[in-house]
Amino acid sequence: MKNNKISGSICWESPSNIALVKYWGKKGRQLPRNPSVSMSLKNSITRTKLDYEPKKIGDQLSFLFEGKREVSFENRIVKWFDRLANEFDFLSDFTFFISSENTFPHSTGIASSASAMSSLALCLCSLEEEVLGVHKDESEFFQKASRIARLGSGSASRSVYGGFAAWGKTNSFSKSSDEFAVSCSKQVNPVFQDFQDAILLVSSEKKEVSSTVGHQLMENHPYAEARYAQANDNFENLLDILRSGDLNAFIEILENEALSLHGLMMNSSPSFTLMKPNTLELIDRIRSYRKTHNVPLGFTLDAGPNIHLLFPKLEKKRVLPFIESELVPLLENGKYILDEAGSGPKKIKK
Ligand code: DP6
């Protein structure tokens, strides 16, 4: 196929997500070792613009992040596009100029590859529709976008949906697949639909271990099989809890997942401790506030020191003063970002 007359521009916004049951360990072609489930955020978003024109000899893809060339991410995109050649046979006909910006600051522990890769995957799926002149139905479109996003970054597969999304095959969820994520928002109790996520910034230092390297640590990990069994149990139980709205049970799984992830990193070879002293102090204060005030709030962590504090919207009046008085003094420059469950990606009209 030759598309040497088409040029244009496509733009999508897509959110970051916070995993409740973690994806940690992969196999084959970017497939997960266990099912994971996440909540997509509302304010932590990447907006990506894909400009394309007919390819001329010597043309190369370029990537700008917030107006500046980002060579390492550009290389990651080039490799990803190479892997996508048999998904989109038009890719080699075009030169791409990609630019993206985030609504959230760098190195905050907000997963920027999830929002970046999912927004670009959505741009590619829209481009496919333009090139072929056919429109997929909505569920097919987002399923393909999720699969394409997954090939760029596993957690990005979940960001093409708003609310809650599950990725990874499991017998407990018939629609589930290793190839793409599926939405599980329909089954979710109203208490979770506007759930809050206060992202507490303990340190903005560059991550000590990339998640790609982190996943590799699971390959010869002595606890790998036990971890995958635990993740499957947590996944199955969490889906029931998301339906029932049992907040105590939710918090128990949430924190168990976060600390299991960090435990696995601490006893990996080589070993990493990504929590900082203030991460532990914050965990202590969160747990003791929960106990003494009987407020249903719980924490989770990604592969870094910052804490995501999750709680129902109707507890905001109690939780925000607690964050301000007891947690802010432990945060880097006193900073935290208040986010919440969001409604998913949006195509930006020209
Ligand atoms: C701890 O999706 O960033 O955030 O597939 O190599 O890009 P790659 O890894 P990535 O890993 C995410 C790990 C995690 C847990 C999660 O989001 O499920």
Burial of 317 (0-12, 13-18, 19+ CB in 10 A): exposed
Q: Which residue has the higher pLDDT, 108 or 169?
A: 169
d(CA 298, CA 287): 8
Q: What are phi and psi of 54, to 5 degrees?
A: -55, 140
Of residues 150, 139, 141, 142, the one with CA closest to residue 178: 150
> Is 36 a member of any domain?
yes
Segment 37-67, tens digit of pLDDT: 999 999 999 999 999 999 998 889 999 999 9
**Residue 238 Cα to ligand 1 middle (Å):** 19
User: CATH code at 65?
Assistant: 3.30.230.10
In a domain, 3, yes or no: no
Distances (CA, A) of 58 to 54, 83, 88, 299: 12, 20, 21, 49
**What is the pLDDT at residue 112?**
83
Pocket test for ligand 1, best of 33, 157, 209, 211 (most atoms within 8 A of CB): 211
| Atom of ligand 1 lying closest to residue 26 CA | 5
Paired sense of beta strands 94-102 and 62-65, if any: parallel
pLDDT band at 3 (very low <50, low <70, confident <90, very high): low
The pLDDT assigned to 4 comes to 54
Is the domain of 236 the same as that of 297?
yes
Rounded mean pLDDT, 142-164: 98
pTM over 0.85: yes
Residue 1 lies in a domain: no
> Looking up tokens 């020209």, which residue turns up?
350
Q: Is residue 238 part of a domain?
A: yes
The atom of ligand 1 lying closest to the CA of 18 is 17
Please state the separation of Cα 128 from the chain's center in Å. 24
**First-last CA distance in the chain:** 27
Distance (Å) from CA 282 to ligand 1 centroid: 23
Residue 211 has pLDDT above 80, yes or no: yes
Q: Is residue 346 part of a domain?
A: no
Strand locations in the chain, DSSP E? 8-21, 26-27, 31-32, 36-54, 62-65, 68-69, 94-102, 164-167, 181-183, 196-200, 298-301, 307-311, 336-340, 346-347
Residue after which a domain boundary falls, among 169, 188, 207 = 188
- Going by the DSSP 8-state scheme, the letter that residue 341 receives in this structure is B
Give distance in angstroms: CA of 23 to centre of ligand 1: 6
156 and 293 co-located in one domain: no
Of 126, 159, 188, the residue that ends a domain is: 188
Do residues 38 and 24 both lie within one domain?
yes
Q: Measured in angstroms, how far is the CA atom of residue 260 from the centroid of ligand 1?
A: 15
Is the domain of 15 the same as that of 162?
yes
Mean pLDDT of the residues in the chain: 95
For the CA of 23, the nearest atom of ligand 1:
18
Q: Quick one: pLDDT at residue 217?
A: 96
Instruction: Specify whether 218 is located in the same domain as 142.
Output: no
Distances (CA, A) of 222 to 208, 210, 217, 259, 270: 22, 21, 10, 17, 13
Residues 182 and 195 in one domain: no
Whether 159 and 194 share a structural domain: no
Final residue in a domain of this structure, among 154, 188, 222: 188
Instruction: Give the pLDDT band (50/70/90) at residue 346.
Output: very high
Does 295 lie in the same domain as 282?
yes
182 and 205 together in one domain: no
**Calpha distance 264→301 (Å, rounded):** 13
CATH of the domain at 329: 3.30.70.890
Same structural domain for residues 28 and 175?
A: yes
- Structure confidence by residue, pLDDT tens digits, 82-98: 999 999 999 999 999 99
Respond yes or no on whether the N-terminal peptide bond of residue 270 is cis (omega within 30° of 0): yes
What are the pocket residues of ligand 1 if the criterion is a CB atom closer than 6 Å to any ligand atom? 19, 22-24, 36, 111, 113, 153-155, 211-212, 215, 261, 302-303
What is the rounded average pLDDT of the residues 314-331? 98
Nearest to 341 by CA among 211, 198, 141: 198
Q: Are 205 and 318 members of one domain?
A: yes
| Residue range(s) defining the domain that contains residue 309 | 190-340
Same domain, 103 and 197: no
Pairwise CA distance, residues 156 & 153, whole Å: 5
What is the CA(97)–ligand 1 centre distance, in A?
26
More confident residue, 318 or 1: 318
Encode pLDDT of 159-183 as tens digits.
999 999 999 999 988 899 999 999 9
- Closest among 260, 266, 198 to 231, alpha carbons compared: 260
Ligand 1 atom 3, closest CA = 211
**Does residue 314 sit within a domain?**
yes
Query: Does 18 map to a domain?
Result: yes
Name the residue of 72, 155, 228 to mutate for ligand 1: max ligand atoms within 8 A of Cβ. Answer: 155
Cα gap 234→343, rounded to integer Å: 24
Q: What is the DSSP letter of 111?
A: -
Q: Is residue 33 part of a domain?
A: yes
Q: In degrees rounded to 5, what are phi and psi of residue 128? A: -55, -45
Amino acid letter, 310: L
Total tally of structural domains belonging to the chain: 2
Pull the structure tokens for residue 169: 């095959």
